[in-house]
A and B are shown apart, each in its own frame.
Chain A
Amino acid sequence: MEVGIADQRSSRIAELYALHAPRAGRVAYLLTGDPELAQDLAQEAFVRLMGRLGSIRDDAVVASYLRRSIVNLARKHWRRLRHERGYVRRGGADPVPPTDAEPDLGGRDELWRALGTLPYRQRAAIVLRFYEDLSERETARVLGCAVGTVKSSVSRGLHQMREGMIGDADIRT
């Protein structure tokens, strides 16, 4: 009987993983630009979620929980990275170069590279608004900031992407 219950739980875990983890991984990838890290973050978020599954059953809530968890885990990664870069700079060495481990899309996607230059909140706001299709209010809730901050983050992010792009692009909002 215990074996049966364990099998049932494992099956549910596998089912939920297949349903939610790859999408969470895609969001993590857009937030970090690092596919290996994105996979790690998605798995970590999933493990955290499953630890609480007794109180989270609805698929939409699962997706929402994973999204928030991914955003927070990615923010933590960025903060650590920023501290490491600051430490290296103080030591006089070269800054840590941005990751180059990304899918090969021809290597000419300037917009993607410009996204990678944004501060974390701007990047996250753009990903949540334009990939996850969240409203400004929903985005604010996920990021833990005011709606006005989301608006300004998206606006500044798009502006900075335009400024950072090679060539004279024209971003319209």
Chain B
Amino acid sequence: MQTSEPDVRAMLRRHANAFSMRPEAPPVVERRVHRRRSRNAAFGAAALGSVGLVIALAVGVIGASKVPGDGREADPGVPQTSLTLVSYLLSDSQSGETGGDPDTELRDHVACMRAHGFDIGDPVRTPDGWTIAVDPSVVDVGSNAWREAAFVTCRLPLPASGNFILGLSKERVDRFVSCVSEHGFDLPEPALNDKGAYVFDLTVTDIDMNAPEWNRVAFVTCSPDVAP
């Protein structure tokens, strides 16, 4: 029997052609599509204001050794005095906002963190997003307890973009990808953005960025600063 690459191709075509599926969409599919669209439309409107904040939080905290604003890696031995929440998808100039109070979600986040014993500062508007001041002598941002509170218990709503961004070296990104994979979350190949950060498009995966399981694995278990 000849089983060269053309044979494999022919075998795949043969079996694919033997599979039949009606081209008419079953009513249940149409109903599910309409339900999903309604839900997405409602969520999109609610989440618009916090798009940039959540994404940036992922960079600011997982990439805690990153110098805010310039894309360089800082000396890991230098304590960070603030977490910078930078908007990548909905920058201030894009949103047309000139300042003002933080979104309700951000305010709720801070209140929740304080209720859990983490004395963080009020959100402050910056040219590229928001900053929450954190005093490292008061709050251990490397601790699992802080990460659990920040990203699971008091987490902000998910970004509508579905992007997950890591401002880390390739080696640490690879380590992170392996870790989350071991915990059941397979990430797609990341793209590099213009700030040198690795961007994962989670819309092509089954990962629900709102799910506590994902946030716990991503921000607590596999956080590069605490992973084994």
Residues of A whose CB lies within 8 Å of any CB of B are 9-10, 13-14, 17-18, 21-22, 25-27, 29-30, 35, 38-39, 42-43, 46-48, 50-53, 65, 68-69, 72-73, 75-76, 79, 102-103, 105, 109-112, 115, 126-127, 130-131, 140-141, 144-146, 158, 161-162, 165, 167, 169-173
Contacts and interface: CB of A to CB of B under 8 A. Distances in A.
B30 interface: yes
Nearest to B26: A43
A103 B18 contact: yes
Contact of B23 (A18, A115, A170): A18
Given A161-B8, A173-B5, 18 more contacts: A14-B25, A17-B24, A18-B23, A22-B21, A22-B22, A30-B12, A38-B21, A47-B32, A47-B33, A48-B36, A51-B37, A52-B203, A72-B205, A131-B16, A140-B189, A145-B189, A167-B1, A172-B5
In this complex, which of B14, B33, B187, B205 has the most chain A Cβ atoms within 10 angstroms of its Cβ?
B33
Interface in B53-104: none
B18 to A, nearest CB: 4
B11 A109 contact: yes
Chain B interface size range: 35 or more
Given A130-B9, A162-B3, A165-B3, A21 B25 contact: yes
Interface of B: 1-5, 7-9, 11-26, 29-30, 32-34, 36-37, 39-40, 184, 186-189, 203-206
A6 B21 CA distance: 25
Given A47-B29, A112-B15, A65 B9 contact: no
20 contacts: A17-B23, A17-B24, A18-B25, A21-B25, A26-B16, A29-B16, A50-B33, A52-B40, A72-B204, A72-B205, A73-B206, A110-B1, A111-B7, A130-B8, A130-B12, A131-B12, A144-B187, A170-B2, A170-B3, A170-B4
A13 B4 CA distance: 40
B15 A103 contact: yes
A72 B1 contact: no
B2 A21 contact: no
In this complex, which of B9, B19, B184, B206 has the most chain A Cβ atoms within 10 angstroms of its Cβ?
B19
B162 to A, nearest CB: 9
A29 B3 contact: no
A17 B13 contact: no
A39 B21 contact: yes
Contacts of A30: 12, 15-16
Contacts of A161: 3, 8
A171 B39 CA distance: 50
A165 B29 CA distance: 39
B3 A144 contact: no
B40 A51 contact: yes
B15 A29 contact: yes
